[in-house]
Amino acid sequence: MNRKEFMDELKEHLVGVSKVDRDEIIEDYEEHFKIGKREKRSEKDIVESLGDPRQIAKDARGELSGSNKGELKDEAVDTWVAVKKLSRQVWGRVKEITEIEKVRYPRGEFTNEGWIFLILLLLSIITDHSLFILGTVAVVIYSALKYSNRKDGARNKKAKGTKKKSKGKTNSVRFVISLLFNLLFFFWVWFSVFWVIIGLFIGSIAILISGVVVLGFAIFSLFGYHTVMMGSMIFSGLFAGIGLILLGGLLTDLSEKVMRLFFWATKKYIELNMRFIEE
Amino acid sequence: MDTQFKKGVLDLCVLCILQRADHYGYELVQKISKDIQITEGTLYPILRRLKNDGYLQTYLKESSEGPSRKYYSLTKNGETKAMELKKEWKDFGRKVGKILK
């Protein structure tokens, strides 16, 4: 064990003492290492003479825990540290996986239209007024049109030379066909899917929040603050909370991707329509 | 040497060493661990507790050889406590000595 490992283990296990005491003790050991280094002792040697950081933390708890809180059980601390380490590992892995995905579907900038969309969305959920619902749809279509040309312009320049926005005649027959098809059929399908995806996203966030709440109660009970849970319930609460948080996090991320995919598909469909009309 | 036994004695050792002169943490730890077999790490929480209990006070002193060091000294209460513990130790030693004879 080197100095960093020793200090990390010590900090990790030094729970159940006041912040002041904790900071002071950590400072003391840092000073100890510094002076030892000055005397040309090797880090390994210093660490060996200091002893086991877990035991030190336990002693510190015994000496310094406030009488009103009572002493934290060692098993509780060991469990807590193990849980912290495990969830850090798992979350790291989750981030790894989702980072790879982020490259494939690059995020667009969050523009004014995005804000308008969110506000209209919230209003339509709250009031259930068809005006707002149509508003959200209108914003989506507007943004898709506004931003589709930008990307297409770049792509077409490479392939076929400059091809500006189509100057072709707007075929009125095709326009009517497209309009009828969309209004009578496509729009309703799209609309249902739209709300399902939104619901998925909101549901995922709800799972995430419930996980935080459960974990919060478990932690408070563990430290003796708000004994909502007791004994074995605390352990199940800890793991249930963490599980819900991870599940919620994963689902949120997944549903966010699905949303992005969905809006991209919508944009493509609208472009297709435009091309059809302006042929 | 038994851990329980050592724990009670360490307070006495720390206070008496500091009664003679102020020391910084590292040298205090070295001094005690030289004679009594203890893991050095266990001393700092004890020092912290003695400070919290009002027997010790600390001050920072610049050192020519590097970073400033935290020095420990006895408070008035610490002085009293030191004398108290010394007396207790002597009495205890006497009584145990009698039994061992």
pLDDT digits over A107-159, tens only? 555 566 677 777 777 777 777 777 777 777 777 777 766 665 554 444 444 44
Torsion of CA B49, B53, B54, B60, to 10 degrees: 20
Chain A interface includes B41 (CB < 8 A): yes
* ipTM of the complex, rounded to two decimals: 0.87
pLDDT digits over B17-49, tens only? 999 999 999 999 999 888 887 888 889 989 998
What average pLDDT does the segment B86-99 reach? 89
Q: How many alpha carbons fall within 13 Å on the CB side of residue A227? A: 5
- Give the closest-approach CA distance of A50 to chain B in angstroms: 4
Looking at A165-169, A248-252, B30-34, B51-55, which range is the least confident one?
A165-169
Residue A67 predicted with pLDDT over 90:
no
**Nearest residue in A to B42, CA atom:** A56
Q: Look at residues A261, A245, A212 and name the one whose alpha carbon lies nearest to residue A101.
A: A261
In chain A, pLDDT over 70 holds for what percent of residues? Answer: 78
The answer to whether B45 touches A26, Cβ cutoff 8 Å, is: no
The answer to whether A222 touches A234, Cβ cutoff 8 Å, is: yes
Residue A208 predicted with pLDDT over 90:
yes
pLDDT given at position A109: 57
Contact B25 A31 (CB under 8 A): yes
pLDDT given at position A76: 79
pLDDT given at position A242: 92
What average pLDDT does the segment A197-208 reach? 91
Give the number of other CB atoms < 10 A from CB of residue A151: 12
Chain A (5-44) residues lying within 8 Å, Cβ to Cβ, of chain B: 21, 24-25, 27-29, 31-32, 34-36, 38
pLDDT digits over A247-273, tens only? 999 999 888 888 888 887 787 787 778
Show residues of chain A in contact with B47, CB under 8 Å: 28
Question: From start to end of B3-101, where are the E strands?
Answer: 23-24, 56-63, 66-74
